[in-house]
Structure 1
């Protein structure tokens, strides 16, 4: 009994540590999303709304160029932070999603076996519990990854919109330079093999359907 409790304690401790790693990854991405949204708000305030109309045109031009350079430098820093976060946590997240993918396949196969009367309820219940355990964090990671990419693209879209409506050649040139810089380096949540975004979610569903179909065919051949 003591040995069983020790194993259970080690299992709970390990899973809690793994959960904290992934929750930390998601929280950090959400924090970066807020920073990117602030940059978008600054751009909207100084360009779309027209900025401060009480200052002279020359000073307004200098102020806008300063804001554009500030947005470009802060965007670079935030993108570098995202890359550091990926280097620290993306490998663990990739392994987690891989393990979750295996359990997703097993639970659908267990459901098929249970409906056919070839599997016990205990095995099906275990696979269902594992699936419900892995699924929420997997979806959170994918959602946060798609969110950070969308926030980065929103700033780029704002810069392009202001390029088309800007009448000042110097400001337009600075907007073009910063937009090219941002287009070259934009924030993504990735492990190096694939991005954590909604296309990954759809690929997981397609792969699950493929593997479950193959495994069901093998079961019928027995």
Structure 2
């Protein structure tokens, strides 16, 4: 892990180790393209899954203490059965999905490693795996640090409630599981984006915006010979790029298949927490002196979950933009290419671009900025409904209190 990164597996190693420590990935997750494991390795992975599930459920059972219902809003929220059930089942679901989808998740990196080797055939620009590993580690440390700070705010809430001390460990485990699943998805998509950028860069080298590249311009006295050589070079490179693009789209489809449930759940939870936190801030503003701490707590948690959604959508939007950039480069190549044979190949490639695009959908909807606008509109709608309902209930309770006082 500490040697210089030489492939994509080394770049991803830091997150892989953290995932294994939390039990979200199989213990035996080999880098080899041969996915067949021995019986002992499969047995070890199943025992690892069983041990993680039992230890997690044991902590849940120990920390669970029925709390008497009270009038405080914070007490009602944190002691609700819905919150306790979701915080128990969802991380457990992530652990099970990580083990069942482990071989397919590793296949993503096998395909990307094969992509790097094929791209190296037509380009001298190799991937900087060491730089990728440093950036991934920095992103990992930043997200874990922010998660730790946000989790500390929950510890203050626990001190005000009758939770046992083991609840600290439970909340820490739940938050780290959510964080590491989000990291795994975002880093995987980012590694794909870097390869699409590199592919577009190579395409621009051989098919520039203004005619032939300077390295392929014909020289005086050898015009016909050089033009034939340039045409053959462009055809060879173009056929390689068509194969690479098809492989990238297959990898994106595999990402959508592997992470559809996890990311859809994460976005749904982030949306729900965002709505509830915003409503909590509204309630706190009405009685800021009494609910000062609750207001700050809701602001911190709401901002944290909104940032996670923004990171998801930003990654999905960026890979879609790089796919559109590939189409733009192909169109400009068709416009400026003097060779009819190369134009025909580019036209075929453009048809492939129309039918197959690298889009992060995760099963239900496309992860781009239109989804963010939809979530903002839905949040505003739910907030209006909740505020109107809260005002009507408060008015009804006030009127009932006044009526009871007037009755002799």
Q: Give distance in 1, aligned partners of 2:250 and 2:182.
A: 20
Aligned to 1:93: 263
Per-residue CA shift, 1:33-63, capped at 9, x if unaligned? 1111111111111121524236721121111
Structure 2 gaps of 5+ residues are 1-61, 64-163, 219-224, 394-408
Which has more helix, going by share of residues?
1
Aligned to 2:287: 117
Instruction: Describe how 1:7-156 pairs up with structure 2 within 5 A.
Output: 7-48=167-208, 50=213, 51-53=215-217, 56-117=226-287, 120-156=291-327
Per-residue CA shift, 1:62-81, capped at 9, x if unaligned? 11111111111101101111
Q: In the alignment, does 2:383 pair up with 1:212?
A: yes
Bigger Rg over Cα:
2
What displacement does 1:90 show?
2.6
Aligned to 2:334: 163
| 8 Å contact from structure 1 (residues 29, 145) kept in 2 | yes
* RMSD of aligned Cα (Å): 1.9
| 8 Å contact from structure 1 (residues 33, 147) kept in 2 | yes
Structure 1 stretches of at least 4 aligned residues deviating more than 4 Å after TM superposition: none
Q: How many residues align?
A: 221
Alignment equivalent of 1:180, drawn from 351, 354, 361: 351
The TM-score with structure 2 as length reference comes to 0.52
| 8 Å contact from structure 1 (residues 76, 182) kept in 2 | no
* 203-212 vs 118-127, greater mean Cα deviation: 118-127
Per-residue CA shift, 1:1-48, capped at 9, x if unaligned? x84232221221122122111111111111111111111111111121
Per-residue CA shift, 1:137-190, capped at 9, x if unaligned? 211111011000001110111001111222211100000101111221111111
Q: Give distance in 1, aligned partners of 2:201 and 2:309.
A: 30
* 133-142 vs 29-38, greater mean Cα deviation: 133-142
Q: Which has the higher contact order (CA 8 A, sep 6+)?
A: 1
What displacement does 1:122 show?
4.1
Matched residue SS, 1:56:
helix
